[in-house]
Chain A
């Protein structure tokens, strides 16, 4: 099994050669089609921003990223260079090929109006949330995905350690301005993103900031 200790790996890819370079403002949703073989880079532009992401197989959207399969196969909870993201059917969806942050969360999930009422106060229900972002993107795209498909997501750049005594803790970010993670797609994908708008806890250092997405085609053989 792969240990999930921090593994820093820089990328040789040149942003000037990227076919897509998109900056997503704080608190916005994003849905992107990614082709098998393409490489995706997500940049934590200003540091300590949680980028909440779910991947789906674009050829069969019923197949989605599965935290259960991914964690079971690597034997641990954190994602970093070398981690393979598996689907619920056990197929590799993406592979992390570079990572200058070193640790990404798989357990913290995405914030929702409803979970904000539980975690903070009943009166927080009207604040913007990641799951509102997810639903907005899916309702507009009308691609057959809906609330049932909002499975446990990846929080890129977020640090949520589990202690030996079984506590879930929210530690200070290991990320910083300009840190990035790079993933190579192993199948045709939908990437569903919420650039987290949470203001009730320090996951964004109380200041949600932009995230940048770059995409490169597979190198020609």
Chain B
């Protein structure tokens, strides 16, 4: 990130809300009446939201090679959180694409992938921590680099979940959107370079009230020797909860049951 990008002037008092409609550039197909907000996440940046069931997120890679490590917790009961093994074994998958559901440890769908231009997002749960950040990229602290400092995915997620009283014990294995890692016969990881291109996107519908936290730091297996995480665009809109004939609901019987278990939280 260039320093100039963050050296913004305050908006004039007559127009105090500097919330540009970023989504018009990277998600112009969204219905203007249903868009709620949008955001540009700088490479390495992190944020979190409490979002209601029936809201969908469009996540768009704005640079090739972007990565977004994302974790989910139930907003109602944060002891309930995204569970990687439960999600993978229920769907017999080691990648995520349209139709897949991100399940909690309580057997509920936290979120569903309702659209995807890529076909593969990495669910293997690897995360860039400070040790690897410094080994790979050296020391780039704030004092010398200001907001161009290098940030790790783990610290980004710890900061975000810390805002809600969660600690490192609570940090779960994330989904790495826009990244692809394959596993060979001997179990070894292979990072697939040049997977996501600028403009690739995925839609994530929230099936419960959730806390979403994410970091746009690089994937830990990304062989790029330069710290150059890509930007990600995020737009939220009202999609409504999963209908009866929802693609994800019909994708596998396991997903129908996980969505049913979420529906059971909203009976009134």
- A interface residues (Cβ-Cβ under 8 A, vs B): 1, 3-5, 62, 64, 67-69, 71-72, 75-78, 88-90, 103, 107-110, 112-119, 121-122, 131, 147-153, 160-164, 166-170
What is the minimal beta-carbon distance from A5 to any residue of chain B, in angstroms?
A: 4
Q: How far is the CA of A141 from the CA of B263 in the complex (A)?
A: 35
User: B107, A76: Cβ atoms under 8 Å?
Assistant: no
- B interface residues (Cβ-Cβ under 8 A, vs A): 79, 83-86, 88-95, 103-108, 120, 124-127, 129, 131-132, 167-173, 182-189, 220-221, 254, 257-258, 260-261
Which of A90, A108, A166 neighbours the largest number of chain B CB atoms within 10 Å of its CB? A166
Q: How far is the CA of A152 from the CA of B125 in the complex (A)?
A: 10
User: A147, B173: Cβ atoms under 8 Å?
Assistant: no
User: A108, B187: Cβ atoms under 8 Å?
Assistant: no
Nearest chain-A residue to B255 (Cβ)? A118
Q: How far is the CA of A162 from the CA of B106 in the complex (A)?
A: 24
Q: How many residue pairs, one in A and one in B, have C-beta atoms under 8 Å apart?
A: 143
User: B261, A115: Cβ atoms under 8 Å?
Assistant: no
Q: How far is the CA of A60 from the CA of B52 in the complex (A)?
A: 36
Instruction: Name 22 interchain pairs, CB-CB below 8 A, sorted by A.
Output: A3-B187, A62-B168, A67-B125, A67-B173, A71-B125, A71-B189, A76-B186, A77-B187, A107-B88, A108-B89, A109-B84, A114-B105, A115-B89, A116-B107, A147-B79, A152-B173, A162-B94, A166-B95, A166-B120, A167-B94, A168-B88, A170-B89
**Which residues of B have CB within 8 Å of A117?**
107, 257, 261
Q: How far is the CA of A64 from the CA of B169 in the complex (A)?
A: 8
User: B257, A75: Cβ atoms under 8 Å?
Assistant: no
